[in-house]
Amino acid sequence: MESPRKRLNYRSIGLLLWFSLYLSIFSFSLQVVAVKPITQLKLNSQILQESIIKLVNENPKAGWKADMNSRFSNYTVGQFKHLLGVKPTPYGDLKNIPVISHPKTLKLPNHFDARTAWPQCSTIGKILDQGHCGSCWAFGAVESLSDRFCIHFGMNISLSVNDLLACCGFMCGGGCDGGYPIYAWRYFVHHGVVTDECDPYFDNTGCSHPGCEPAYPTPRCERKCVNENLLWKESKHFGVSAYRIHSDPYNIMTEVYKNGPVEVAFTVYEDFAHYKSGVYKHVMGGVMGGHAVKLIGWGTTEDGEDYWLLANQWNRNWGDDGYFMMKRGTNECGIEEDVVAGLPSTKNLIKELPSVDAARDVSI
């Protein structure tokens, strides 16, 4: 008859073998999804490379032109990577986020540009600068919501990136070290966002000033307007919803056509830093990180290539005066699978908009 001690040893060995197998499987899954580590030598090298420009511009199938964008003339790979602040939404959280689809009943134009569709909305055509903070996730959200307040309520206001960046806290991610676009829109619903006049962006000189370091700290949440004539609570503007948009291009186009610009996130490769004009498609270079921008329209080139029209927040000395086009309909760099938005609310606006019915519903 086996002793209890021997049975215990067998059980311990079995548990140990099971745990080892679990670790090996878990480690394998991590290797599959992990981004290849970048060496320190690579991180310290310059992001702009003549060799990349040459290879892109000499490739007849590239469809776009590369250049030495002055925005990143002194940037290392490590500094460039720090700007790419989109964190992937935890898989378990995605099931709690509504996904919007639009019925295919609307005939959409072949070309659409939100700047000309709503010319009265000056914020749509603004190109901003995130400086040297990984705050793209906040810029894409705040810019799109600002545009939507004008489109739906006729209000030309610039909302505060700084409020979202500094005050959302761990719910949105890590501030200048990156965040989750969908949780920015949830912050608008639950906490609102003040105007830029009340809480202007902390890095208003961009990345041209001395001490432009990758580890620039997230600003502190002050909850106080810099303009003493403004009150923080009264400056808040709210969202009424936060949702993802189904990845089918028709859904994305309809959402923009009906409700205004949306926030999109995509994977950035080394060659994207060199974009100057044309319809971007990844040609060469390794993965740098995730980036969020504002999608404002679409079209088709004379050569028949479908594209998205997007506004970046790297100032006007990058790309095509701050804008870029990316291939549409093929989920290039994952741009069609991570589209988020929300609708503006009349909450806190009754004094500003006496003619607006507080119960007014905007279209999804």
Contact between residue 207 and residue 131 where contact means Cβ atoms under 8 Å apart: yes
The 3-state DSSP class for residue 289 equals strand
Is 106 a residue whose pLDDT tops 90?
Answer: yes
The answer to whether residue 118 is domain-embedded is yes
- Band of the pLDDT at 92, cuts 50, 70, 90? confident
The answer to whether residue 361 is domain-embedded is no
Residues 1 and 55 placed together within one structural domain of the fold: no
The answer to whether residue 71 is domain-embedded is yes
Residues 27 and 174 placed together within one structural domain of the fold: no
State the first-to-last Cα distance of the chain, in angstroms, to the nearest integer: 72
For residue 23, give its domain range.
1-34
Task: In whole angstroms, give the CA distance from residue 337 to residue 356.
Answer: 35
Residues 2 and 100 placed together within one structural domain of the fold: no
89 DSSP assignment: P
Task: In whole angstroms, give the CA distance from residue 55 to residue 160.
Answer: 40
The residue-averaged pLDDT of 81-107 equals 93
pTM: 0.85
Contact between residue 208 and residue 314 where contact means Cβ atoms under 8 Å apart: no
Residues 230 and 255 placed together within one structural domain of the fold: yes
If one counts the domains in the chain, the total is: 2
Helix 249-259 and helix 136-153: axis angle, to 10°? 50
Contact between residue 347 and residue 300 where contact means Cβ atoms under 8 Å apart: no
The answer to whether residue 356 is domain-embedded is no
pLDDT tens across 296-339, in order?
A: 999 999 999 999 999 999 999 999 999 999 999 999 999 999 99
Contact between residue 193 and residue 344 where contact means Cβ atoms under 8 Å apart: no
Nearest to 121 by CA among 314, 251, 261, 255: 261
- Band of the pLDDT at 155, cuts 50, 70, 90? very high
Residues 256 and 110 placed together within one structural domain of the fold: yes
The answer to whether residue 355 is domain-embedded is no
Q: Which residue has the higher pLDDT, 138 or 362?
A: 138
The answer to whether residue 331 is domain-embedded is yes
Residue 115 backbone phi and psi in degrees, to 5: -65, -40
The answer to whether residue 357 is domain-embedded is no
- Band of the pLDDT at 21, cuts 50, 70, 90? very low
Active site residues: 136, 291, 312
In this predicted structure, what is the pLDDT of residue 217? 84
pLDDT tens across 111-153, in order?
A: 999 999 999 999 999 999 999 899 999 999 999 999 999 999 9
Residues 148 and 174 placed together within one structural domain of the fold: yes
The 3-state DSSP class for residue 26 equals helix
Q: Which helix (H) or strand (E) holds 137?
A: helix 136-153
**For residue 16, how far is the Cα from the chain centroid?**
44
Q: Which residues pair with 195 in a beta bridge?
A: 159
Is 355 a residue whose pLDDT tops 80?
Answer: no
Nearest to 100 by CA among 221, 254, 329: 254
| HSE-up of residue 154 (Cα within 13 Å, Cβ side) | 5
Contact between residue 266 and residue 335 where contact means Cβ atoms under 8 Å apart: yes
Task: In whole angstroms, give the CA distance from residue 220 to residue 217.
Answer: 9
Residues 198 and 283 placed together within one structural domain of the fold: yes
